[in-house]
Amino acid sequence: MKELVFVGLGLHNESGVSLNGIEETKTADRIFLELYTNILPYFSIERFEAMVGKKVQVLHRCNLEEKNGALILDAAENGKTDFLVPGDPLIATTHVTLRIEAEKRGVKTRIVHGASIISAVIGLSGLHNYKFGKTVTVPFPENFSLTPYNVIAQNKKLGLHTLCLLDLKVDEKRFLNINKALALLLEIEQKRNKGIITPKTIAVGVARAGSNNPTVKADYLEKLLKYDFGDPPQSLVFPGELHFMEAEALVTLAGAPEILRRIVK
């Protein structure tokens, strides 16, 4: 059967995948795997292969980008093919493109969803999901732009929270960390001088979402700049207006300064 199934691997390790995801691999003729669109720090390909009882072919960014995914598409035209992807697979826009290409070639596609960094960080922050505005990625210094600053500013103006994903190049083992991302944003503030992101701004840093020991710390930027969040993956949240239960969550679950309780609506 010509079929391409995107299987979400969820978070953290090879057991982040759902039982439906494991079940799916049993009927696959070919299994591909990528570990570059997000970080699964404790994912072991050997353990995963042992678990599903099949060989898995690991793809790198270049395998997919340089040949427009021909490797996967050719396999899917010749049998049932599973493509294993960190998190929830179609949150990575590059895979949406692959899915479109497959359908255009007459290959049926399906998705087995997995836990996503998006909902995980929102949940861990203790902030209310429906109060988040647009999400943004904070890029490495060499690709830096005003976009993250502007998105945070726009969301704040609307009273909304901002989820900031931090750039990563897993192939090169490079991860932008929270401290560096904050320093970059504060540099922009110094140029723009709008008072959006200052040393007295409160933010929430989240590290290792999906593990048994995530770090979730809310504090003033001047404090977070020096805070040791430990291993990646790391993400940031800039709160907008806080509901009193959100302030309570930041104080109780993320160690925010207690004064937060008194400055909410």
Point out which residues bind a second copy (CB under 8 A).
Answer: 8, 10-20, 22-23, 51, 87-91, 93, 96-97, 99-100, 103-104, 109-111, 113-116, 118-120, 122-124, 126, 128-137, 154, 158, 160, 209-210, 212, 245, 248-249, 252-253
Nearer residue to a second copy within complex by CB, 19 or 200? 19
Give the whole-angstrom CA distance, residue 148 versus residue 144. Answer: 9
Q: How far is the CB of 190 from a second copy (least distance, A)?
A: 26
Q: How far is the CB of 169 from a second copy (least distance, A)?
A: 18
Residue (of 54, 65, 63, 112) closest to 84 by Cα position? 112
DSSP-derived secondary structure letter, 199? T
Could you tell me the smallest distance in angstroms from the CB atom of residue 212 to a second copy? 6
- For a second copy, the closer of residues 15 and 198 by Cβ is 15
> For a second copy, which is the closer residue by CB, 159 or 199?
159
Amino acid, single-letter form, for residue 159: G
Residues with Cβ within 8 Å of 83's Cβ and at least 6 positions away in sequence, in order, are 4, 5, 6, 7, 32, 33, 34, 72, 89, 95, 98
Q: How far is the CB of 216 from a second copy (least distance, A)?
A: 10
Number of CB atoms found within 10 A of residue 100's CB: 11
Handedness of CA 127, 168, 117, 251 (dihedral sign): negative
Shortest distance in whole angstroms from residue 201 CB to a second copy: 21
Nearer to a second copy, 253 or 264 (CB): 253
